[in-house]
Structures are given as C-alpha cells and as structure tokens.
Chains A and B, each alone.
Chain A
Amino acid sequence: MSDLLRRTALTLLAPVSAIVVAMIITSALIAVSGGSATDFLSVIFSVPENRLIVNMINQSALIYMSGLAAAIGFRMNLFNIGVEGQYRVASYGAATLAGAAIFPGILNVIIPILFAIVLGAAWAGIAGLLKVTRGVSEVISTIMLNAIAITLTGYLLNKYGQHVGNGVRTTPIPESSHLTGWYPFTRADGPVWTLAILAVFLGVGFWVVLNKTRFGFDLRATGLSETAAVASGVKVGRMVLYSMLLSGAVAGLIWMPAFYGAAHSYGTAFQAGLGFTGIAVALLGRNQPVGIIFGAALFAFLNEQANRLTIETDVSVSVVQITQGIIVLSVVVMYEVVRRYRIRLEQRQVAEREPAPPPAPEEVPA
C-alpha cells in the first residue's frame, strides 16, 4: 500500500512541481517587466464565472481530443506534428458537406462527422504511407502537410465559400442540424456543446484500446522497443500506418463540437491552433488518457482565466502562453528525472531482495 502511495506521489510530483515552477517564473517575469505578480496570481486562481466555466468545459473537450490524437502517435514514438493540418482539412470538408445539407435531419450530422474522420485519417495517412514505404520522417512530412492544409483550405474556401462582408465562410448548416447542447447555468452563460460528449467516448475508447486489447499492446510494445516488438511478431510498418490513421481520425473530430454547437460554418469562426495545444497537453498528461484530461482542463482553465487579465489588470494575456510553455518544458524534464529515480529505486529494491553473492576468491597455483 505504501508502495502504491509512493508511486502515486511520484506520478503527481512532476506535474505539480512543473505548475509551481511555471507560476514562479511567470510571476518573476511579470514583476521584472513592471507588472503586478499578485494581480496575475489572484486573477488566475480566482473562482471563474459561470460563463467561463462553460467555456472551459467546451474548450477542454476540444483540447482533450487533440491531445488524444497526438498521444496515439506518441505512444508509438511517432511524432504526429500534423494534428493541426488534419483537423483543419477535416473541419473544412465536414463543414462544406454539412453546409450543402444533402442529408436530412440527424444524418446531416452523422455523415459529415464520418467524413471528417475519413479526411483526418487520410491526411495523416499520407505521412504514414510515406514513412512506411519511403522511410520519410513523419515529423517533417506532417509539418509540410500542415502548411499544405492551411494553403489548400484557404484556397478552396476563397474559391467556393460564401463571401460575407470582409469574411468568407462555408454555407452555414441548416438549423435542423444544430446541436447546441445543455445549459448548466442560465442561457446567457451558454451551453456545453452536445458533441463535447465525443471527448468522453474517445477517452474511454483510447484507454480501453490501449490497455485492454491486443492491438493496444502491440502499439505500446512498438513504442517501448521496436526491436522487441518485431521479434514478438508485430508488423511495425502496419502498426505505424494504423496508428497514423487512428491519430488522424481522432484529429478529424476535434472541432466538430464547436462546429455543430456554435460556429455552424467554417470560416472566421474556425478555431486554429488546437493541434499544437494538443501536443502540449499530450506531453503534459504523459500520453495517458486520464493524464490528458488534467492537461486539457489546465490549459482550458489558464486560457479562460487569462482572458480576464486584460479587463482586471495591466498584465498581458499572452503571459499565460509563457506559463503553458514552461509547464510543458518543465514537466517533461521532471518526468525524465522521476523516471531515472524510479529505475534506481527499483534496482535497489531488487538488489535488496537478492544480495550479490560475496565472491570467494581462491588462490590457484600458477
């Protein structure tokens, strides 16, 4: 039991100390640049308003899915930097299809969502195929694909979208396809989007697949030791492709809650940058489904609380980005430190259990 306690403590040590370190550095930075660190801390750690709580929940859901998408690759040592491009392509495609309103009622939700999944998977699959067949590093190919996705969707949107005023957007979906959601407080505080529930399903699914299935085991084994995985009969190339497809499929869903809940069209309402946030959150949560929940909630919390900085203090909103960056960097450093400590600890335990037999040298006449 004390062993379990120690393990838990060790697991929590890294994120907690990272948050503390980040807060200290951020405060110091604010103080040095002439701001008030106490103002910053009091705003960040104040109880959020209802409206912000709703936003936090919604944002957590989006960030969480993005974190999962990244984590699927990370668990296999695949750096899918391309979540950003994948969910952009998928969001544009789904929005266009849903805006065309070809399908009646709920089908105009289901089919575009499936389309988003397929598009996200396909976009990630390009990087997967390039890696498996041509040995191209997924880091660089997904970065290229991100740039291509931004340009391509921009071009298509410009060419085929509705130009409204200064902006351009896809055709808004009919009212019958809106999935606004549930109002936990007053209507003015806004709804928790219906499709935010997707995050829950995906989280549970990720956990089950990773920890309970053969496929998940193969995936983790490949990430832990590719050579051992090959020797155990895992076809690594196939696993790379599958996990890229899976990662992209999840990425395809990231923006869907916001699309059906509030935006209703792809355009200025599109929330970019979630892909990169997802990477940070996956790292923060150690690529574990439960850990990523905390990571996503923390990031959403910081983002929303930071919005109040401008109103209530002189401190810039951007400061929270520094906080987030420091949290990520210090958490990965701390995880590494804890990992080394844990290995030493276990080795010592084993050594206590099995003391090295005292070698008995004996003189042998030469």
Chain B
Amino acid sequence: MSMTAKAPKTPEARQMRAKQFNNTWLLFGIFGIVVVSFVRVVTGADDLAATNTIKAAVIATCPILLAGLGGLWSERAGVVNIGLEGQMILGTWGAAYFTYYYGPWMGVVGGALMGALGGLLHALATVTFGVDHIVSGVAINIMAAGAANFLAETYFADLSGGGFKQLTGLDRPGEITIPGISDAATSLADQHWFLISDLSSFVAAATKEVSTLTILVVVLVVATAWILWRTSFGLRLRSCGENPAAAESLGVNVYAYKYVAVVVSGALAGIGGTFLTIVSSSGFTAGQTNGRGYIGLAAMIFGNWRPGGTVVGALMFGYTDSLPLRSASAVHALLLVVAIALIAFALLRVYQGKQLAGAVIGGFGLAFGAWWLLTDSINRDLVGLTPYVATLLVLALASQRLRMPAADGLRYRRGQSI
C-alpha cells in the first residue's frame, strides 16, 4: 500500500490500522509461544513444544481450518453455513473414491467437488428458496451423513482395503523436506533451550516431511485473505454480507455472489474432508469428521470472521485435540499454560478498564493454576474440553467485540428493500 501525495494522512492511518490488526495476532502468537516455552521449561514436559507435537497439531488443525475458511467465505457473503459438517463428510467420501482410482491429487479435486455439491444444495435452498440458513444446514448434514454411508457401502465394500464403512490404504500426497534447515532445526530443538528450542521446533516442523496438502492449505488461507480483502470480487462478495440491498442497488448480482461464496465454502469444507481422509489418516471411515465442520465454524467465530483469527482459533482446537494423544505429562502442563494465558488476558481486561470481566477471567485463571498445583496428572478426556470451554468463554467475554457481517444469516430477496 503506497502513500500518495494528495491524501497524505488517510493511507497512513489505514496502514496503521492494518498494521495494528496484524500486530495483534502476531503478538498473540508470540505471547503463546513464550508462555508454552516457559511452561515447558518449568514443568519439563518437553512434549509441549516438540517437533512431533507441532506436526501433529498442524495435521489436526488443517481440516478445522479449512472448514473455518469455508465458513468465512459463506458468512462474509451473508449465508450461515452450518452445513459445513455435511459438506466435509461428502468430501471424505469423494476424496477416498477419487484417490483410490486416480491418485491423491484427483482425490483433492474429488473431495472439493463433493463438498461443492453440498454447498450448491445449501445455496439453492437458502438463496433461491429463502429457507432459513440453519434449517437448511441441518438438513444437509443429515443427508450428507446418509449419503456418505450409502455411497461407501455401495462403492467401497468390494474394494481391496474397503469395507462397508471404510476404505483404507489410500495413497497420500507427497511430502517435502528441506534437508539442511530441517536437520539443523531438529538438533537445536532437541537442546530444550528456552524459546530457542521451541522456535526451532516450529522451523523443524515446517521443513521436515511436510505434506504438500498442508502447503496447499497455507496457500488457500493466503488466497482467501487476498481474494476477499484485496480484490473487487472480494469487495462485492463482502458487500453481500454487509448490506445486500446496497450491493444490489449498485448493480451487484447478489444471488450470484452468494452462490459462488457458498459453493466455494462447500469446496473448502470438502478439501477439509479430503485432508482427514488422505493426510490425517490413511483412509475413509464413516463418521470420521466427528463434528469438525462445526468446530471450524466455531474457530471462525472465535477469530471474529477474519482469516488470521480463524487460523488462531483452528490452531487452538488442533493443538488441544492432538496433544493428549502424545503425552500425559504435557497435558498436565497444559493446565499451567491455560492458567497463565487466562491471567494475562484478565490483566489486559483490567488495564482496559473492564474490571468485572477481568475478575471473572482471572478467577478462571487462578482455578486452572490451582488445578495444576494440586494434581499430578489429568485425564486425557478432559483436555478435549479445553477448546470448547475456551470458545464459550471467549464468546461470553468478548462477544461485544466480535463483529459478524451485518446481514449474516438474514434472508435476502431480490429487490426486497429498494
């Protein structure tokens, strides 16, 4: 964004705002790493930020993130897409089928196509027929679950590695390793030094045996942010979510943009399903999405309908989802991480003049701290609760700061208000 001579102040101000915004999430990330690193050193739970932990977290994050991105496309155009779960389910089947016959990259295409089909249905119901968005989404989820089961039983039962509810042994997309850096980073990470080792773990995780599909996910995040906020197509799409009547009065074909947005949304969720099928695991299993479509939606809301925020939300879910599978001690140490994060957040709120909110959050923080102090271990099941409880807390405490698109979820009829 260059500055111009004619309007010297405004672009600067804009840039500052943009920077501030990016800085917020950057600070958020750095703070997170520092806290995790600190707790790791204090508790000796090295698995908290080991390369493998991070890799597992990324793999757990990607499907959720893709669903979240799908939600972002759809909701920015004003359509609430609770059918993400169903579109994801369709994606798992499509990915398995196409991968089996044509290889993993056609599997991605197949997953995207099946998800897009679910999105198209949702668009048809909500945009053309004006059905309530939630209602349509619920119906799609029911239908998609049935469709995937039926299709699996019909097409996978007789295949090698197949069964009534599964198709295993699928080819995976390739992995990339950057030799020099990954080795250096791995050895640094193994030193368990404060912060340095943790950052090295990240570098190692990002350079060693990275699935090409993971790289595609990163590309999709960047592409989504760029398309929605830096192109005229994105501006039009977002205007449909903010004030469709205004958009229509300016010649924007609101229906068309909503259709595109919801179909893309479904396709992204479908790729999320693909990721589950050919990266997270080695095949299709009935019901393997296990609510991740809904979680993606939650991650997007947690991230305030923004790409950066959605990434942070998805990472939170992914990290707490994957950690318990790796290490019990790390799970216990996580309590301290949560406690410190909450107390820091509480102090921030108090600093902002929100004493009550600060007190409530601080109370939760102290409770987690006490829990950590008074116990030696924690049941793995309970860790799974963290992202859900955290989402509820964030919604409860920061809902005033969340800003959903103004016309999100509302029915829109062509020519309705002009």
Contact = CB atoms under 8 A, between A and B. Distances in A.
Instruction: Determine whether A and B are in direct contact in the complex, meaning some CB atoms lie less than 8 angstroms apart.
Output: yes
Interface in B369-413: 379, 381-382, 384-385, 388-389, 391-392, 395-397, 399-400
Interface magnitude class on chain B: 35 or more
Contacts of A154: 381
Interface of B: 80, 82, 121, 125, 129-132, 134-136, 138-147, 149-155, 164, 291, 294-295, 297-298, 301, 379, 381-382, 384-385, 388-389, 391-392, 395-397, 399-400
A142 to B, nearest CB: 10
B245 to A, nearest CB: 19
Contacts of B121: 329
A283 B381 contact: no
Contacts of B295: 147
Nearest to B134: A79
Contacts of A146: 291
A328 B139 CA distance: 6
Contacts of A283: 135, 138-139
Contacts of A140: 297-298, 301, 391, 395
B388 A329 contact: no
Given A318-B150, A325-B146, A139 B139 contact: no
14 contacts: A81-B134, A130-B392, A135-B399, A140-B301, A140-B391, A141-B395, A145-B388, A322-B150, A325-B144, A325-B146, A328-B138, A329-B143, A332-B131, A336-B129
A194 interface: no
A283 B131 CA distance: 11
Interface of A: 29, 33-35, 79, 81, 130, 134-137, 139-141, 143-148, 151-152, 154-155, 158-159, 276, 279-280, 283, 316, 318-326, 328-329, 332-333, 336-337
Contacts, number: 139
Contact of A81 (B138, B147, B153): B138
A332 B126 CA distance: 10
Contacts of A322: 143, 146-147, 150
A280 B399 contact: no
Q: Is the interface of B mostly helix, strand, loop or mixed?
A: helix
Contact of A147 (B140, B142, B291): B291
A279 B384 CA distance: 26
Contacts of A137: 301, 395
Contacts of A134: 395-397, 399
A182 B323 CA distance: 50
A323 B392 CA distance: 35
A276 B137 CA distance: 12
